[in-house]
Amino acid sequence: MQGKTHAGNRAKPRRGQVFSCHLGVGVGSEFKKRRSCVVLSNNVNNVNNSIVIVAPITHTEKDLPICVPIADKHGADGSLVLNGCANLSGMRSVSSYRFAGLICELKNEEMDKIDAAIARQLDIMRHYSTLQSVIQDNKDHIERLNSVLERLCKILLLSLTLKNAILYLQKEPFTSGAVILTSQREEVTSGLPFQYRLVRGSKKNCRKYTYFESK
């Protein structure tokens, strides 16, 4: 077999790496001969199994959702080592003994696009779309719950403030028998929530208390 390698030299590729791969003889429109291929199978499989899943890198300009453009890759000397697109129509399992050498490694963003193309090619994108819809609905529901919780907290704070104000006024009865509302801010009492305060007036013979919302 072309490209056969000694067992001790079997490549243990990582997902996203691009190797020069001997695909052998093809039938019909199958990809064949020596091609650059990106590794698609997961790393656990790649380490423990000699059979890995790859997709060929082609230079056919096709506006197809199964062809993912790959940014030009250059070597240390600046020379071009890889360009084209990952063609997911040619996904196949191969032996890692077919790998002749590592060329480069694709970026995470490129692999994300390849994952989406795989989902379209295998007709499982609909499952992802359903999950994304469910996740978005849950996010919207959580936002609504947070809004309700925020309003409830404000109501609770106001309730506690009013309770503290009543308790305070019960300890300090009015000589005038009424609470006189005023915008004048004088002595601010302590022990109440920071958003609301009681203010003591200074008029003679009458102890006035004002309840106001601080700005």
- 14 phi, psi to nearest 5 deg: -110, 150
Q: Do residues 168 and 198 touch, judged by C-beta distance below 8 A? A: yes
Locus of tokens 């490694």: 105
- Residue 198: is its pLDDT beyond 50? no
At 176, the pLDDT band (50, 70, 90 cuts) reads very low
> How confident is the model at residue 207, as a pLDDT?
42
**113 vs 165, higher pLDDT:** 113
> How confident is the model at residue 37, as a pLDDT?
94
**108 vs 61, higher pLDDT:** 108
> How confident is the model at residue 214, as a pLDDT?
39
- 211 phi, psi to nearest 5 deg: -110, 120
pLDDT in tens, 91-121: 999 998 999 889 999 999 999 999 988 988 8
What are 211's two structure tokens?
Answer: 């309840």
| 3-state secondary structure labels for all residues of 133-191 | HHHHHHHHHHHHHHHHHHHHHHHHHHHHHHHHHHHHHHHCCCCCCCCCCCCCCCEECCC
Q: Which CATH class is domain 7-129?
A: mainly beta
Query: For the chain, where do the domains classified as CATH 2.30.30.110 start and end?
Result: 7-129
> How confident is the model at residue 203, as a pLDDT?
41
> How confident is the model at residue 14, as a pLDDT?
93
